[in-house]
Amino acid sequence: MPYENKFSHFLVLTRQMCPYNVIVTLTNTKNVRKNIEKHRKKIVKRLSKPSASCTPNIRRFQPIESPSTFSIKKLQEIAEKDQDADIESALDYCPGGYMPVTIGQTIGPDNRYQIVRKLGWGHFSTVWLCEDISEGQTYYAIKIVKSANSFKTVALDEIKLLRCVKDQEPTAAGYDKIVLYHDYFIASSLYGEHLCLTFELMGPSLLHLIVQSNYQGLEKEGVKNIIKQILLALTYLHENCKIIHTDIKPENILISVKEPYIRNMVAHVNRFNELGVQMPKSYVNAAGWNEPEFFEQSCDEASTSNVIYSQRVDPRRTSCPNKVFVNDFSKPIKVKQDQRPVSPLFVDPGIQVKIADLGNSCWEDHHFAEVIQTLQYRALEVIIESDYSFAADIWSVACLAFELSTGDFLFNPQASEHLSCAEDHLGLIWELLNGIPPYIAHSGRRSSEYFTSAGTLKRISPENMKIWKVEDVLVDKYQWKRVDAILLADFIESLIEPDQDLRATASSALNKKWLNSIDSH
The CA distance from 187 to 168, in Å, is: 28
3-state secondary structure 308-339: EECCCCCHHHCCCCCCEEEECCCEEEECCHHH
d(CA 201, CA 23): 8
247 is catalytic: yes
CA distance 283 to 79: 10
- State the amino acid at position 509 in one-letter form: A
Is 143 annotated among the ligand-binding residues? yes
CA dist., res. 405 & res. 219, Å (int): 7
Question: What type of residue is 31?
Answer: N
Contact 407, 207 (CB under 8 A): no
Residues in the chain: 521
Closest CA to 314 of 215, 406, 222, 212: 212
The answer to whether the beta carbons of residues 350 and 360 sit under 8 Å apart is no
- Which stretch of DSSP H or E encloses residue 40? helix 29-40
CB 20 within 8 A of CB 204: yes
**224 contacts 514 by C-beta, under 8 angstroms:** yes
Query: Is-contact 335 320, C-beta < 8 A?
Result: yes
Q: How do beta strands 346-347 and 308-309 pair? A: antiparallel
Q: Catalytic residue among 247, 348, 357, 393, which?
A: 247
Number of CB atoms found within 10 A of residue 182's CB? 14
Q: Among 391, 399, 425, 401, which Cα is nearest to 499's?
A: 391
Binding-site members are: 143
> Annotated active-site positions, please?
247
Binding-site members for ATP are: 143
